[in-house]
Amino acid sequence: MLAFTKEYIGKIGGKVVGEEYLPMDGSDWTAIISKLKDSKADALITSTAGGAPNVTLTKQLRGAGVSLPYANLAVDEGTAKSMGADAEGIYLSASYVTGIDSPENKTFLAAMEKKFGSGLKTPNDLSVPQYEAVYLYKAAVEKAGGTETAKVLEALPQVSVTGPRGVIKMDKQHHAALTMYLGQVQGDGSVKVVGTFKDVDPGEQCPKLK
Amino acid sequence: MAEAARELEAAAGAALALDGVTSGYGAVSIVRDVSLKVAPGEIVALLGKNGMGKTTLLKTIMGLIPSRGGSVAIDGQAVAGMSPARLVALGVGYAPQEQPLFQDLSIRDNLRLALPSDRLLPGALDVVAGHFPFLKDRLAQKAGTLSGGEQKMLILARALMLRPRLLLIDEISEGLQPSVIDRIAAALAAVRGESGASMLIVEQNLDFALRVADRWAVLKLGEIDDEGPADPGARERVLSHLSV
Amino acid sequence: MLLILDVLTTAGILFVVSIGLLAVFGVLKIINFAHGAWLTIGAYCAVIAAELGLNPWAALPLAFVIGAALGGLAELFIIRPLYRRPLDAILATWGLGIVIGQLITLGFGRDVQMTPNLFSGTVEILGVDYSAYRLVALGAALVIGVVFAAAMEGTRLGLSARAVIMNETLARGLGIDTVRVRLVTFMAGAGLAALAGVLLTPLTSVDPNMGVGWLIGAFMLVMVADASLVALAVACLVFGAAQVLISTFVSPILGSIAIAVLAALVLRVSPKGFSRA
């Protein structure tokens, strides 16, 4: 992910002025943040393990007064919410954010709210695909006329389902082209869609599968 | 029950009564079946060569080593299993031999640590000054910087300052010049004269022991080998036990 | 300048995190491997304080009291029977840490908790903008260190604790209630750990396992300091500097293992660590 990012930054005429790593469970970003400030970088892209490490890094960044444009490749909306004001302005990319402005998403969110109420955990692009996958499987089983594995597999690329993310169809070597969203965390913790990349092709994933 | 009652009855009237005391470390019993009495106001010297169990016996009485058998009574009260803190409250003073001082602490703090409360400090310092006036003038000095004799006097002063009824003293004369030994002997005599305290003193210095004690007992391989009064014939009798 | 501030504040944070462990190790002669769990307890006290609508700073005394109270219970029922079995005490405290982590998970869930900022923003020092909170944490380390030293030097309980550290047999022989000294010391150590947990909240995510990562560093520092407060301060400064310098000039990955490796080296050369110097 970071290799791709570096290549892309070079391609659009940018320059990577620094690249730093910490062990997965590392919690002390002191030296790295000081180097970041020293580098006079214009923007920051991070990719930690999901959840807690994001929070630790963001707290220390904000504590040190780092406010440059910041894109996080590993944060989900729920984690961003738990960071409160510290998360404001962070860019994140995902195939699902709650801010998708579509009737399907609004219906989905309203239904979730109704079912779970205050216990609702923020849906993200880990949980929504599971939700859609169940419906996709249902459609495949219906088309195959039973649950026999080989028949369901055969039927899977021929069906589609319309979920919170729109139409999902696993017709690219049993992968689905997904629309990717660039979101930005708002002051209230919600994520606003600031860029949409329609139906990103998954590329060669399983070349031998038709 | 009857036996316990009998033991207490036997202990009645004694300042310290040991009956069949056995104790030691790990699997080894160092003190075996020791019975000994110290009458009120009496000074008993516990003699014997190194490694015969004298220090272990004092530690057992003081509750620092659990006894494995027998009974210990102080003024008729069974004290086995009591913590050193409770024994101090009962009026026992202890002057240990091994690492007896906090070398890095001041004289004042070394004394404070042996008091249940800082409120007792002024009175205790008066007692200390009565026996060894130099200590009161050097309260801020670190104990580790005192000379060997001064350290011994501090150890003794600390054991005396709460005016105990029973004193357990472990080799207080060890390595001391005759002049310091005289001062210590005088202090012990004065304490007994003033408060009638009883004492059990562990000694290697036979002359000093027989000078201050009323009676003696020789401990050999953890058992009482012989005991008797500190009379003119005592020296020869004790030596006969120590020479083998 | 940035580097100096990084070193000083890192040392301060390490000191805050380690001092509770040092107190317990010095007097009780056991390593409290549940120390990390008490850091977590403290941080969750900050969460509770926020839920109750208290001032964020009120979490500090709250954490100290709750940490000390829970520490007292742990000493009474778990640690006390194990004083003569230090290896079992390691297992027991490690297990206790796991249990506490799971209880917190049951009570609060696995999620990262939001805590209010104790102190936000930056201040300019000699031309560099620096995290105001890290400076506050450094100040807190100094205050805690001075108060702790004053308590050890100036109170009777502190004197008794030092006596137990220096020569426990003698302390007992003089009638010091070593059982009580141990209990109170463990409570103080647990309270300080919880206090440190609150002070960590602006620096790290608050989740049920947050304390574990800090435990190893604290353990290494205490081993090197060998129950001496001054040696602990020196160790935090030296190892904190090593961590920052290696992270800055070599690699943050090596920097993150600097404390553990250097502590092992120091103990190899001098088993008493820094305490003799």
- Token pair 């738990």 is found at A82
Instruction: Report the alpha-carbon distance of residue A151 to residue A137 in Å, rounded.
Output: 12
Cβ separation of C156 and B109 shorter than 8 Å? Answer: no
Tokens of A133: 């996958």
Q: Give the 3-state secondary structure of residue A90.
A: coil
Amino acid at C176: I
If one counts every other C-beta atom within 10 angstroms of the C-beta of residue B121, the result is: 15
What's C76's DSSP letter? Answer: I
- Token pair 């290697």 is found at B204
Structural domain spans, chain C: 2-112+129-212
> Domains in chain B: how many in total?
1
How many B/C residue pairs have CB atoms within 8 Å? 53
**Confidence band of B6 (pLDDT split at 50, 70, 90):** low
Task: Give the nearest chain B residue to C157 (CA atoms).
Answer: B113
Residues belonging to chain C with any Cβ–Cβ distance to chain A shorter than 8 Å:
2-3, 6, 9-10, 111-114, 120-122, 129-134, 202-207, 209-210, 213-214, 243-244, 247-248, 251-253, 255-256
* Min Cα–Cα distance to chain C from A135, Å: 28
Residue to substitute from C152, C174, C178, interface B, most B β-carbons within 10 A:
C174
Cβ separation of B94 and C171 shorter than 8 Å? Answer: no
Distance in angstroms between the alpha carbons of the first and the last residue of chain B: 41
Q: CB of B58 within 8 A of CB of B84? A: no
Taking contacts as CB-CB distances below 8 angstroms, the residues of chain A near C2 are 34, 37-38
Helices (H), chain A: 2-11, 30-39, 52-63, 77-82, 103-116, 127-144, 149-155
Amino acid at A8: Y
Taking contacts as CB-CB distances below 8 angstroms, the residues of chain C near A30 are 6, 9-10, 134, 244, 247
CATH number of B134's domain? 3.40.50.300
With 90 as the cut, is the pLDDT of residue B233 above it? no
Chains C and B: 3 or more CB pairs within 8 Å of each other: yes
Cβ separation of A63 and C202 shorter than 8 Å? Answer: yes
Average pLDDT over residues A60-85: 90
Minimum-distance CB partner of C166 among B84, B102, B117: B102
Minimum-distance CB partner of C252 among A20, A51, A82: A20
Cβ separation of C252 and A52 shorter than 8 Å? Answer: no
pTM of full prediction above 0.90? no
Spatial CB neighbours of C258, under 8 Å, sequence gap ≥ 6: C239, C242, C243, C246, C247
Tokens of A14: 């940018």
| B167 strand-pairing partners | B93, B199
- pLDDT (tens digit per residue) in B204-232: 999 999 999 999 999 988 888 888 998 88
Minimum-distance CB partner of A31 among C111, C206, C252: C252
Taking the CA atoms of C161, C164, C167 and C171 in sequence, report the sign of the dihedral they define: positive
Cβ separation of C176 and B113 shorter than 8 Å? Answer: yes
With 60 as the cut, is the pLDDT of residue B18 above it? yes
Could you tell me the residue range of the domain that residue B121 belongs to?
2-242
Residues of chain C with pLDDT under 50: 277
- pLDDT (tens digit per residue) in B169-202: 999 999 899 999 999 999 999 999 988 999 999 9
Chains B and A: 3 or more CB pairs within 8 Å of each other: no
Determine contact: C156 vs chain B, CB below 8 A.
yes
pLDDT value of position B5: 57
With 70 as the cut, is the pLDDT of residue B91 above it? yes
Distance in angstroms between the alpha carbons of the first and the last residue of chain A: 27
Amino acid at A80: A
Q: How far is CA B32 from the centre of its chain?
A: 19
Q: If 0-12 CB within 10 Å is exposed, 13-18 middle and 19+ buried, where does residue A80 land?
A: buried
pLDDT value of position B12: 62
Task: Give the nearest chain C residue to A38 (CA atoms).
Answer: C2
Q: CA angle A66-A69-A75, nearest 5°? A: 90
DSSP3 helix / strand / coil % (chain C, rounded to 5): 75, 5, 20
With 80 as the cut, is the pLDDT of residue B9 above it? no
Q: What ipTM score was computed for the predicted complex, to two decimals?
A: 0.85
Determine contact: A18 vs chain C, CB below 8 A.
no
**What are the DSSP calls for C134-176, one per residue?**
HHHHHHHHHHHHHHHHHHHHHSHHHHHHHHHHH-HHHHHHTT-
pLDDT value of position B3: 57
> In the complex, which subunits touch A with 3 or more CB pairs below 8 angstroms?
C
Minimum-distance CB partner of C167 among B87, B94, B102: B102
Determine phi and psi for B24, rounding to 5 degrees. Answer: 170, -170
Determine phi and psi for C97, rounding to 5 degrees. Answer: -60, -40
Task: Give the nearest chain A residue to C206 (CA atoms).
Answer: A52
List domains and CATH numbers for chain A: 2-97+178-200 (3.40.50.2300), 103-169 (no CATH)
What's A86's DSSP letter? Answer: G
* Min Cα–Cα distance to chain B from C159, Å: 8
pLDDT value of position A188: 87
If one counts every other C-beta atom within 10 angstroms of the C-beta of residue C50, the result is: 18
Spatial CB neighbours of A107, under 8 Å, sequence gap ≥ 6: none
Instruction: Report the alpha-carbon distance of residue A67 to residue C241 in Å, rounded.
Output: 27
